[in-house]
């Protein structure tokens, strides 16, 4: 029997960039005296030969369930699960209110074990904003409404409802979650893993994350075009794995049409400690974000962060980066970035505040301790 079975969806590989993948890998490695098993629902036949760290003794199994259609009912999830056998567990821990929560609720009831929820992003809200799920499945109004109902069930059945930000917690409570069992546990990084460099003058701008439509990378490229027209010596990097090949090809065509081929480089391989050495400024334009690890890793590394005022980004970045109005015109954002990269005093002030946040507020150790305390209450 394992202590914790974490149920997630769409990750396929613990070693690729992505908030849930990073959180899951760090959490299981960071609490070595608790045993874990993973059930993952995948929508792409991404046959990862080593989906977990083989030297990690406390990670007992990684069960990847390949789906053709997205399950939206308990009957559907029951039919899927009947063909699979899993290790007995003491606690089920879901990482979303989609099919991961359906699975966790179902198993916790038939096995009579507690269910914990960590909601890294409001799934139904993401589908409402983008008309798709992170898995790449198109999401119409019907799917969004069903996801909202699943979320309400998850909030009711979970012993504890965890979120990385107050922004997410407030939405959970507004949708019926009991405030007494809602808890904020911020994502965390180990600042010692990241070399803090002084990167002025800024010469390399970049995006880091999954190549997915929700990241709104085409807007970043259009902003880069405006910036490069004023400062053609700057280099731009798009760092992260390709989640959506059609979208990736669209971005390449856009770069070509804007004559940015010589200025923009895709880096599809990813290493947490290495990607941060490639850029001096991180620019995000996501349609929805909660608390991305790339921002916390940027804080730890001395990268200046520029993010929109959506989701949990304002409360995460605080005054350690530049927060722009998502509704602003691209030209206005480009001007702000150009002003930032020419102001050394402001640059120094921001990156020092970011490093302090990485050392004191968003620490992996703090995150591990909080989760371990919750687990121990049920073990």
Same domain, 14 and 153: yes
Q: Is 115 helix (H, G, I), strand (E, B) or coil?
A: strand
Question: What is the pLDDT, as a whole number, of residue 133?
Answer: 60
In terms of pTM, does the model score above 0.85? yes
Q: SS3 of 238, please?
A: strand
Q: Indicate if 255 and 291 belong to the same structural domain.
A: yes
Same domain assignment for residues 332 and 241: yes
Residues 134 and 250 in one domain: no
Q: Where are the beta strands (DSSP E) in 43-123?
A: 59-66, 89-94, 115-118
CA neighbor of 119 nearest in space, from 208, 11, 14, 19: 19
pLDDT value for 132: 61
Whether 47 and 140 map to the same domain: the answer is yes
Range of the domain at 311: 191-360
The CA distance from 141 to 188, in Å, is: 34
Are both 15 and 79 inside the same structural domain?
Answer: yes
- If asked whether residues 94 and 130 sit together in one domain, one would say yes
Q: Which residues of the chain have pLDDT under 50?
A: 47-50
Q: What is the CATH number of the domain that holds 338?
A: 3.40.50.2000
**48 near 98, Cβ under 8 Å?**
no
Best CA proximity match to 200, nearest among 350, 338, 347, 354: 347
| Shared-domain flag, residues 110 and 210 | no
Structural domains counted in the chain: 2
At 113, give phi and psi (nearest 5°).
Answer: -125, 150
pLDDT digits (tens, 9 = 90+) for 82-93: 888 888 999 999
Q: Are 175 and 147 in contact (CB under 8 A)?
A: no
Q: Same domain, yes or no, for 146 and 254?
A: no
Shared domain check, 283 and 332: yes
Q: What is the pLDDT of residue 272?
A: 75
DSSP conformation class of 288: S
Do 108 and 226 lie in one domain? The reply is no
Alpha carbon separation from 12 to 4, 47, 77, 265 (Å, rounded): 19, 8, 19, 25
Q: What CA–CA distance (Å, rounded) separates 198 from 205?
A: 15
* CB neighbour list of residue 304: distance below 8 Å, 6 or more residues apart: 199, 202, 280, 281, 282, 298, 321, 322, 340, 341, 347, 350, 351, 354
Specify whether 50 is located in the same domain as 176. Answer: yes
């Amino acid at each position: 029997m394992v202590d914790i079975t974490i149920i997630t969806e769409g990750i396929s590989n613990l070693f690729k960039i992505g908030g849930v993948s990073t959180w899951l890998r760090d959490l299981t490695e960071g609490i070595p005296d608790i045993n874990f098993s993973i059930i993952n629902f995948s929508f792409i036949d991404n046959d990862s030969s080593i989906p977990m760290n083989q030297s990690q003794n406390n990670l007992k199994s990684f069960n990847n369930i390949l789906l053709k259609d997205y399950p939206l009912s308990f009957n559907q999830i029951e039919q899927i699960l009947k063909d699979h056998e899993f290790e007995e567990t003491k606690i089920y821990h879901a990482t979303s209110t989609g099919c991961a929560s359906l699975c966790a609720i179902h198993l916790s009831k038939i096995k009579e074990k507690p269910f914990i929820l960590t909601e890294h992003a409001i799934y139904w809200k993401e589908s409402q904003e983008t008309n798709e799920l992170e898995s790449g499945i198109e999401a119409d109004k019907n799917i969004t409404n069903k996801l909202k109902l699943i979320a309400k069930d998850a909030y009711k059945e979970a012993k504890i409802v965890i979120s990385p930000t107050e922004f997410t917690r407030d939405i959970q409570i507004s949708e019926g979650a009991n405030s007494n069992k809602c808890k904020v546990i911020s994502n965390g990084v180990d600042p010692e893993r990241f070399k803090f460099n002084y990167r002025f003058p800024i010469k390399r701008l970049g995006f880091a994350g999954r190549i997915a439509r929700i990241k709104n990378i085409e807007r970043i490229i259009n902003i880069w075009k405006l910036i490069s027209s004023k400062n053609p010596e700057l280099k731009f990097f798009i760092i992260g794995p390709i989640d959506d090949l059609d979208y990736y090809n669209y971005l390449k065509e856009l770069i070509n049409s804007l004559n940015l081929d010589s200025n923009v480089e895709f880096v599809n391989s990813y290493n947490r400690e290495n990607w941060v050495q490639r850029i001096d400024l991180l620019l995000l334009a996501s349609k929805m974000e909660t608390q991305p690890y790339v921002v916390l890793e940027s804080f730890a590394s001395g990268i200046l962060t520029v993010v929109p005022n959506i989701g949990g980004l304002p409360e995460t970045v605080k005054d350690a980066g530049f927060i722009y109005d998502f509704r602003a015109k691209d030209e206005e954002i480009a001007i702000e970035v150009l002003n930032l990269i020419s102001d050394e005093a402001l640059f120094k002030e921001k990156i020092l505040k970011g490093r302090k946040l990485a050392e004191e507020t968003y620490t992996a150790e703090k995150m591990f301790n909080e989760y371990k305390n919750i687990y121990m209450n049920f073990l």
